[in-house]
Structures are given as C-alpha cells and as structure tokens.
Chain A
Amino acid sequence: MKVSYFPGCTLKTKAKQLDDYARSCAEVLGIKMEEIPNWQCCGGVFNTSSDEIATKLSAVRALSYAEKQGQPLISVCSACHNVLKQTNHAMQTDAVFASRVNHYITQPGQAAAQAYMGNTQVYHYLELLRDIIGFDRIRDAVKKPLTGKKIGAYYGCLMLRPSSTMKMDDAENPRIMEDFIRAIGAEPVIYAMRNECCGGYVTMEDPALSQKKSTAILRNAEANGADFLITACPLCKYNLDKNGNIPVVYFTELLARALGIVEA
C-alpha cells in the first residue's frame, strides 16, 4: 500500500531519526511512504481564529495533493499531524473558511476541478500502525522484542487535543501508545501526567515555564517506574531532554529496534 507522507521541517533537520526510522519501518511492514513533492512547513501550530487563512494554506496544499493521489496523508510529528488534521476539519465543517481557502488555491475557472473540500483521510503514524497495519501484525513482525523494558508513553497535547477534532483516542485515558509499547514486547508505565503539556513553544521566551512543566512530567514518570519515555514530538523531546535525567526517545526508533532494523 502507498501513502502520501508529510515529513515537516524538523524531521528534515534536528529529528532526522524520526523520519528515517518511520520510513524504514513502514517499508518492512508493507507500506510505501511517498513524500509529497515541494511540501511547505505546516507552521507548527494551528491558529484557531476562523479568519486566519494564509497560515493554513500549506496544510491545505498537502491535503489536496494527497487527495489527487487517492492516498491517505500520513505524518509522524505530532505538531504537523495536529495542523493537518485541524485544517482538514475546518475545511469539512466551516464552509466560509473552505470557500476563502479555495479562492487562494484554485485558478480562475478551475474551481470545480481544483477545489479541496476536506476529503483526505489524515493519519498520524501511530494510527497507521493501529488502524491500517494493526498492532497484531506488528507483534508478529517483531524480531527483537524489548522484553523487560518499562516505558512511559508521553502523549503531550498535540496528538490528542482538541479531542473532538483529533479523534485519535480518549484524550484523558489514551492507550494507543501503551498498545504500541505492548506490541513491541515492552511493558507500558501508566503515569498521570502523560497527557499534560511540556511547555511547548513558550520555551523560546520563557524557558523557566517549560522547565517547570517538563520537570513535573519527568518526576511523575520516574516515580511510577519508567526507565525511559517515548514521544512523537521533537519539541516535547527538546523540553524533556533539557530538564531531566530519564532518556526520551522517538517511538519510531524503538519500533526500528524491535523490527531488527537497527541495533539497540
């Protein structure tokens, strides 16, 4: 099966491992990730103001391209996924917004052929694993199970919220990452702060705030016995790495280890 893939700015720079492992694991699991040509940065955050149009056009272009390929759109970064999914939702539910967007992206006289109306299926890579491939098939494909490892899933905010739009999982009691951890043979550690914010972009101007938030998350995970944490978000990883002693790794790296693609 082929899918359209939106990597995003950070996966091409600071988080290359997230990108590389996602592709190689998908290949092993029978999925070909076709990178969208000339994709543009999603902007990292979705502005919830309904009259904000221009900042959402890069997401619409990616969604529209995937529709033309007849493929679902996959991203690995939590932030890209959040922006793509929220933009798609706005295109489906806000006719005025969709109309204004289509005035930007269609050529005169071509509106009917070129307009995008929110029909692309948007998946986070974890949803690809759960809903398209299936965790059972991943369990069967595991060559080197991570037996005995106690792993805390760190969801953060962007994958889960706003839950009415993201619809990935129960936002207060999620399990997709824990199920992933079980599928690769390790033991998930449940801790209360797994879906609380790390401090996000505020780290740019107020590092003390993100330090406070990240430290609380790390202490909570440690107190519940996590050996390390997994994340899908480069900004979460940055904030957590900076403020604690528990290792934080991208979930795709663990998948690559379990599938025998890389040595531990």
Chain B
Amino acid sequence: MEKNDIQNTVKEIIRISGVNPKKCIKCGKCSGTCPAYDEMEYHPHQFVSMVDMGDIEPLLESPSIFKCLSCMACVDRCPRGVEPAKLIEAIRSVKQRMQGSNHMKPDDIPALLDEELPQQAIVSALRKYMK
C-alpha cells in the first residue's frame, strides 16, 4: 500500500471502530482473556498497538482477523475501555471490502455442512467472512 493509502485506512479503521488506541496502557488483559489467543499470529493487544503505530498491512493480511470469535471478552474486561474486538472487526470489514477478499463464499458452505449444524452458524459465518 502507498503511504497515503495506509494513513487513510488507519483513519477509517479508527473512525468506524470508534476505538482510540492511545487509551491503551498495555496491560495485556485483552490478550490474556482472549479465547482465540493460541490460534492468533497477532493478539488483541498487538492489534491495538500496531494500529496506533500505523502498522496495519500485516494485520490486513493476517489470518488472525478471522480467528476473533467476537465474544467481546476483551471489550468487557479492558480496564481502559479500549474495546479491541471492535478494532479487529473494523480491520476485517476494511479488508473484506477490497476486491476479491471474501474469506468464505456461499459455494464453500455445502462441504462444511453436517446434519446438526444450525442455520445460525451459517449466517453468522457468512456475515463475518464475506462482504
């Protein structure tokens, strides 16, 4: 990405998430409580500090944006109200609004079905993984 584009994308991420990364005191509680921690390359506290540093390209390319469960544990437990999950959601939204960036497509679904899988899982996954 061009430097200008990076700066504008950081602004967009901050605007649509409503998150102010400067509020973070780097206590690590968000990552400590994250149920997807082990599966993530970048962890919630790193999302916050990397957005603050303008270092968003690795985040946009990382599978970590699809590992967040949106359980909001980090949002509720942050002592500073930083709300890391909203930042991760914004990065995922920005990524998937780019051409050809859908992480899951309706055609992928039939192979993932089993007898008991609730419709809720399918609609939720498509909302999270597709634009």
Contacts and interface: CB of A to CB of B under 8 A. Distances in A.
A70 interface: no
B60 interface: no
A213 B35 contact: yes
B1 interface: no
Interface residues of B, number: 38
Given A13-B119, A204-B122, A242-B116, A47 B75 contact: no
8 contacts: A14-B118, A47-B127, A48-B89, A50-B16, A157-B70, A197-B73, A200-B124, A201-B125
A209 B76 contact: no
B119 A48 contact: no
Q: B35, B38, B39, B73 — which one has the most chain A CB atoms within 10 A of its CB?
A: B35
Nearest to B114: A242
A55 B120 contact: no
Contacts, number: 130
A247 B104 CA distance: 32
A43 B123 contact: yes
Given A162-B72, A199-B69, A77 B120 contact: yes
A199 B39 CA distance: 12
Nearest to B122: A204
A206 interface: yes
B129 A48 contact: no
A203 B85 CA distance: 19
A206 B112 CA distance: 10
Q: A9, A44, A48, A55 — which one has the most chain B CB atoms within 10 A of its CB?
A: A48
> For chain A, which range describes its interface: under 10, 10 to 19, 20 to 34, or 35 or more residues?
35 or more
Given A10-B119, A14-B119, A202-B69, A44 B75 contact: no
Interface string A40-84: 010111011111100100000000000000000000010100000
B121 interface: yes
A5 to B, nearest CB: 17
A234 B128 CA distance: 18
Interface of A: 8-10, 13-15, 41, 43-45, 47-52, 55, 77, 79, 157, 160-163, 171-172, 196-197, 199-206, 209, 212-213, 233-235, 237-238, 241-242
Nearest to A235: B120
A47 B85 CA distance: 11
B124 A79 contact: yes
B86 interface: yes
Contact of B121 (A52, A196, A203): A203
A204 B121 contact: yes
Interface string B90-111: 1001000000000010000000
A199 B124 CA distance: 12
Given A14-B118, A157-B73, A204 B125 contact: yes
Given A13-B119, A163-B76, A44 B17 contact: no
Nearest to A216: B35
